[in-house]
Amino acid sequence: MAKYMKCQFLFSCIVWLVACPLWGQVFSGVSAELKDERLILGLEPEVFGVPMLFVRHGTGDHQVVWTREEDYVLLTIPRVKSELDIELPLLGNQAIASRVIGRFPILGDGPTVHIDATDLFLQTHIPWQPGPPESVLSNLSYIEEVVYLDNETIVRTQRTVPYRGASRTVEADFSLYRLPKAMQPRLYDHRMAYSYENQNFLLGEQLRTERGSITRWRLEKKKGAKKIGDPIKPIVLYLDPITPDKWKPFLRAGVLEWSRAFEKAGFSNAIEVRELPEHLDGRIGNSVNFSMIRWNRHAKVRNPEVSGGGSSAITIIDQRSGEILKGDILLSTLIPGLSEDYLIRCAPLDERAWEYHFSDELNGALIQYLTAHEMGHILGIKDANFGEYAYPLEKMRDRSWLETMGHTPSIMNYCRHNTVVQPEDGIPPSLLIQRVGPMDEFHIAWGYRFFPGTQSPEDELPYLDAMVSKQDSIPWLRFNNGQMEVLGPGTVNEVVGNDDPVESVRLSLKNMKRVMDLLPSLNNDQRDNTVLVRLYHKTLKLWYNYMYQIVSMIGGYGIQYKMGSQDGAVYDPIPMAKQEEAMQFLLKHAFAQQAWLSNPEFLDKIQYSTNGDQFLQYQVKLLNEVLDGRRLKRLEFMEGLESHQGISKKMMSQLRAGLFSDLKNVDRQQQELQRAYIVQSGKWISHRKNYFFAVPRTDANMYSDYAKSVLLSEIYTVWDQVNKALKAHKDAIVEAHLLLCLQLMEEFVPSD
């Protein structure tokens, strides 16, 4: 026995030397050895019964606990006990108290407990994120190596998994990370756009009045620091070694755009961007200890879609407090996709975009903008809509405003670049690109500022609520979450937002016409017309986004999230006159012929049939959006306000009158829209509700009886218009179209 204990001691010493090759490195308490392709873990006594983070890098993580029961070691995912004195639901389910993910026979005996944990990393079905677990082909998977860092044991594997009827092999790196002492949380507030501690396993915005912790880094000032001082430990991101050197300054600049926000929160030098130490290879980023800016590893793979997929950010959170332990920026968007998105918006305003292949300077500026957005996620802020319906329209073309405030309050919305500016405004191109704005500075101050004298999250509330109260008087400090229903201009994406969407879109369309004139010349140095096709289709999609912003005004609201004690409505209906203006704009610019866009001079170079008439498809899609059941229900709800009485009938009458204003000279596209209107209206007029199965808050998309009555009254008018036009018509094609319209209406319009 003494001989065995001596061997165990020697083994532990060897493990310690392997685990801690650098002086000052803190051992996680979990050692590992690969023996005959089996992974033997050594567990020190201090790891039992205490929370540890188990991470599948790039996929998910769990707080786990090791326990010993006689001759076995259990690895369990328990409910996390928050520093707010609550337990967080496990896997989003309140009924689950714990989940055992490993039961291992103990190998031998001694102070260090050894187990064979091979299957834990190669076969165990662990729910790393919502959705089905990953299946692993164990005979084609193996453990590659073990790496040790501060408080962390990393196990690198190659896993072969089923993929589209075949299989693929992926790098899967795992960490066992010893958690630090939990920091003091900051209470979640639904009026601010921070993520909360276990949001990955909750669907939608389920956290409102319940207590929760926002996600943020542990930034603490050095002792004796002044009003603005350096943190004890800054937020550090490392550059991926495969990043081309010419782009590194722009990545660094994108991250450091947030420095001014932290200065306003009281921290100098809060963020740093560093090169990886030479002794560490590129994959060391798969570590809780290293936050990375990852360059696109597929950038040189042939990709006909150009975009390469969207970029993203991944954070690892200590759910006890909301502390962000690690954050990776994943730059997956390819440079051609970034440049094309800028070109179709800003080419008339920036001569650098008059050639399809942009300069490194312009591409770098776009990479910086993308990096700054993803850095916001690394700091704990969600994607959302930030103040888009708040900035004054006239400021969109004001140089001094743009220099200090930008054309949008936040880098975290999907406003994109400034399309409202006109060439004659003389705005420098550098002010067209989205950047960190006043809303972002407001968020960082609210989330990271230290309040002297506070000892608990509750002590901070008076200071935090006082900050949030600025939203009452400064509308661009408000935000609202994206959701299934787009409730107004403040909830749309891909377009510049301000307090006059109609005029904003009118100005943007002027630039779009200039882009259409530029497209053929941009294609001159290409071997074929592929680029021209792609740019044209992206322009059409942008046109749809412009028009969708106008559609959102119909039945739309302004939104301000509030506490129960705050006065005023959360949902403020857009004035009826503004909604009428929006409808008239749509009839003129969306539902009427736009030959400059639908039939440009270069169309015969890229198209040979109406089968691919995307412009018409977008028109029909917009019409369906106007007639959407949820929109009509919102209009019906507004009828209860004195200021909006009769709005449903007024809006639908305007739509019908515009679509059927001319039945003598009806072109092909107008015929399609007229029939689409009849079919869409008739579908819901004829739909019968099941009154025997009435469940509150269901059938959100179904049309109310009131909406059906409004639509039917308009169809009666169309019936009369078509019959009168048919009697006077001579053109055979138009006459046939009118007969088809009558035929469609006969299904739900009673005959005399």
In one-letter notation, the amino acid at residue 148 is Y
> What are the distances in angstroms from CA 107 to CA 45, 76, 103?
15, 19, 13
- Counting Cα atoms < 13 Å in the Cβ hemisphere of 249 gives 7
Task: Give the tokens for residue 297.
Answer: 């590893």
> Which stretches of the chain drop beneath a pLDDT of 70?
1-25, 200-210, 281-283, 303-309, 693-701, 750-752
Give the model's pLDDT for residue 304: 56
Q: What is the DSSP letter of 495?
A: S
**How many Cβ atoms sit within 10 Å of the Cβ of residue 95?**
7
- Cα dihedral 705→641→384→623 (10° resolution): 40
Alpha helices (runs of H) in 106-149, residue ranges in sequence order: 118-122
Which of 747, 735, 732, 738 is closest to 720 using CA atoms? 738
CA angle 286, 291, 296 (to 5 degrees): 70
Q: Could you write out the DSSP letters of every residue in 169-224?
A: EEEEEEEEEE--PPPPP-B--TTS-B-BTTGGGS-SS--SSS--BB-B----BPTT
In one-letter notation, the amino acid at residue 466 is A
Give the model's pLDDT for residue 7: 43
Q: Which residues contact 346 (CB under 8 A, 6 or more apart)?
A: 353, 417, 418, 419, 429, 432, 511
Helix (H) or strand (E) holding 330: strand 323-330
- Cα dihedral 430→435→439→442 (10° resolution): -110
As a whole number of angstroms, the longest Cα–Cα distance in the chain is 111
Give the model's pLDDT for residue 208: 54
State pLDDT tens for residues 369-379: 999 999 999 99
Q: Residue 276: inside a domain, yes or no?
A: no
Q: Residue 339: inside a domain, yes or no?
A: no
Q: What are phi and psi of 742, to 5 degrees?
A: -65, -40
Q: Residue 283: inside a domain, yes or no?
A: no
Q: Residue 51: inside a domain, yes or no?
A: yes
Asked which of 149, 179, 209 is the last residue of a domain, the reply is: 179
Give the model's pLDDT for residue 38: 94
Q: Which domain, by its residues, includes 144?
A: 2-179
Q: Residue 383: inside a domain, yes or no?
A: no
State pLDDT tens for residues 16-33: 444 444 334 688 899 999
Domain count of the fold of the chain: 2
Q: Residue 656: inside a domain, yes or no?
A: yes
Asked which of 121, 149, 179 is the last residue of a domain, the reply is: 179
Q: Residue 364: inside a domain, yes or no?
A: no
Q: Which long-range contacts (CB under 8 A, 24 or more apart) does 680-683 make?
A: 680/623, 680/624, 680/627, 681/627, 681/711, 681/712, 681/714, 681/715, 682/715, 682/744, 682/745, 682/747, 682/748
Q: Residue 436: inside a domain, yes or no?
A: no
Q: Exposed, middle or buried, 107 (CB in 10 Å: 0-12/13-18/19+)?
A: middle
Asked which of 128, 158, 179 is the last residue of a domain, the reply is: 179
Task: Give the tokens for residue 154.
Answer: 């990393």
CB distance 231 to 266 below 8 Å: no
> Taking the model in full, what pTM does it have?
0.93
Q: How far apart are CA 329 and CA 290, in angstroms?
A: 12
Cα–chain-centroid distance for residue 566?
29
